[in-house]
């Protein structure tokens, strides 16, 4: 029996000011987080193939809510008339580590981030976005270390790989690996992406699809 993805539909579902407002856990959740100005909204729009879905802003740190998007893969199973829907939540989390907010919001990892990441049972995988143009940033390393300590399933997504040479991208990733491996025995799964050139889209979506299938097997 042949199975193939025919389409992906993504629509805004709801915004939540705290963990209590998150939807009841009927679907697996794949959340995106990173340092402010890492290109998260652009990446989400690229995955959804909709430039207007997630709001992008010239002012980093704009997202202050947990934003839910209902995503649905449509699979063609066998003949063209047999279409199976696979729903999941794409979750856009606030960025961390940006100082130009009120003092109450200035914590590196705010309570809304900590509550969701460490308490949300429906979190299937957390995609941690890393700016490929930069050498390892201490705040990213600190956050990833916390994920490991708490046993949170996550992958690393290096963004903006089109903005510098491939040699520079590879050099920065190797430095990131070396820094992590000072404390980790194994490096987590990574994706290389460019929102502008749509690089990494297929790999990320296939990972989501395969992960959902493994949950059902």
Least confident of 34-38, 77-81, 165-169: 77-81
pLDDT for the residue numbered 101: 44
pTM: 0.89
pLDDT for the residue numbered 103: 47
4 pLDDT higher than 60: no
Q: What mean pLDDT comes out for the span 87-97?
A: 92
pLDDT for the residue numbered 140: 94
Report how far residue 150's alpha carbon sits from residue 12's, in angstroms, rounded to the nearest whole number. 29
71 pLDDT higher than 50: yes
Averaged confidence pLDDT in the chain: 87
Which CATH number describes the domain made up of 3-216?
3.40.50.300
The distance of Cα 206 from the centroid of its chain, to the nearest Å, equals 14
pLDDT for the residue numbered 99: 42
Nearest alpha carbon to residue 127 among 7, 29, 23, 17: 29
Nearest alpha carbon to residue 121 among 23, 189, 217: 23
Per-residue pLDDT band for 104 (boundaries 50, 70, 90) equals very low
Report how far residue 129's alpha carbon sits from residue 138's, in angstroms, rounded to the nearest whole number. 14
> What is the tens place of the pLDDT at every residue in 143-189?
999 999 999 999 999 999 999 999 999 999 999 999 998 888 888 99
């Amino acid at each position: 029996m042949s199975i193939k993805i025919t389409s992906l539909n993504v629509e805004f579902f709801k915004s939540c000011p705290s963990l209590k407002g998150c939807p009841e856990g009927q679907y697996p959740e794949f959340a995106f987080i990173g340092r402010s100005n890492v290109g998260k909204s652009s990446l989400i729009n690229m995955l959804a193939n909709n430039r207007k879905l997630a709001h992008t802003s010239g002012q980093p740190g704009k997202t202050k809510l947990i934003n839910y998007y209902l995503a649905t893969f449509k699979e063609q199973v066998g003949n063209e008339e047999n279409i199976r829907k696979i729903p999941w939540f794409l979750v856009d989390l606030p960025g961390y580590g940006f100082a130009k907010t009120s003092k109450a919001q200035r914590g590196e990892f705010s309570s809304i981030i900590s509550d969701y990441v460490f308490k949300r049972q429906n979190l299937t995988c957390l995609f941690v976005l890393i700016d490929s143009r930069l050498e390892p940033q201490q705040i990213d390393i600190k956050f990833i270390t916390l994920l490991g300590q708490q046993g949170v399933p996550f992958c690393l997504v290096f963004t903006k790989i089109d903005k510098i040479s491939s040699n520079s991208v590879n050099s920065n990733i190797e430095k990131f690996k070396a820094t992590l491996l000072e404390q980790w025995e194994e490096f987590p799964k990574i994706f290389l992406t460019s929102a502008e050139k749509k690089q990494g889209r297929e790999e990320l979506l296939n990972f989501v699809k395969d992960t959902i299938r493994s949950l059902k097997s």
